[in-house]
Structure formats: C-alpha cells, structure tokens
Amino acid sequence: MGRANLNRAPISGTARAAVKPMTMLVTADGRWLSEGDAELAAVLGDVDADYDAAGFAIRNLGFIRFQTVGDSLVEIELHPASVELPALLAVQQQLLSVRAKLFRIKYLEMSWKSEITSSAEGAVARLSALCTPAFIPIASQKYVVEPQDYSSLLSNEQSRLRLMAQK
C-alpha cells in the first residue's frame, strides 16, 4: 500500500489572503502604543529588551493588550490586579466603537484564563467586574500616628516609651 499524498492543490489567491491582526497596547495612563513601537521601549526604559517586553508590561505595569483580528474578533489581554482606571476606560471606550462579533478576554489570576463573549457591552461589563478590587479595606482610626516632642518622652518618668527613647 502506497503512502497518501499529503501535498494538496495550492489555495487560490482570494482564499490565501490572511487577516493580519492589529495589536496595540494601552498604558496605565490610557495612552495607546503600537506593540512593536520604539515608544514602548522608551516607556519601559529598556531599548534593547531580550524578553517579552509587552508581556512584562501587561503582567507588572498595568498595560492592556488590545488586538483586532479583522472585523470579527477582538482579543483583550490584561492582569486585572495591576490595571489602572485610565487604561480600563480607554479599552472600554474602544470596545464600544468596534464592529466585532466576538470578544475574547484573556486575564491573569494565578494562571492565565480566557473568556469569550458575543457583545461589546458584555465585554465592557466583564472587564469592569474583573478590575474591581475584591476587597476594599475599611478606613479605620484604630492606629493613629501623632507627632510628639522627643524630649517629653525622656522627662516623663511614667512613660512606657522612656526606656526606648533613652536607647
């Protein structure tokens, strides 16, 4: 029995045309940068990066990757714990202006997770939910720091802090 011929007929010119994704990064302060742009290297302060600079910026600096694939798909990649409000608002505003049919949100928790939604409004709502802090500490007056005169600690024989002030 002979081997099957895996070489197939060439694809016609119209079917072969691939859709090239457009990838942008949104900085923590809401500015848009091209992923391969020299301005990204300047923002990171590393002109000759030998690592994934965009990935580093997303994981650690609050950047958001916004990628469109044709008119049908938008991919958003972020680390919700480090995203700042200006970046989130810039991405949400852009989401509402695109005509895509699918929206993929890739986000980092303990590991990378991915979700797909079919509406821009759903993607905006999910991004808001992801970037809202799970725990907001209550402002408390339990520990209050008040400046005091150092000499008052040394002269007060009853102060519990006198021995520490003497050292």
Q: Which amino acid is at 163?
A: L
Token pair in block for residue 113? 């997770």
pLDDT tens series, the chain, 167 aa:
444 444 444 544 554 456 677 899 999 999 999 887 778 777 877 767 677 888 888 999 999 999 998 889 999 999 999 999 999 999 999 999 998 999 999 999 999 999 999 999 999 999 999 998 776 666 777 777 777 777 777 788 887 777 777 76
Q: Between the CA of residue 76 and those of 37, 69, 103, 141, 165, what are the distances in Å?
A: 19, 11, 8, 40, 55
- Is 0.75 surpassed by the pTM of this model? no
21: tokens are: 């994704």
Say how far apart CA 12 and CA 46 lie, in whole Å. Answer: 43
Sorted by where each begins, the domain ranges of the chain are 18-131
Q: Which of 110, 120, 111 is nearest to 66 (CA)?
A: 120
Three-state DSSP class for 142?
coil
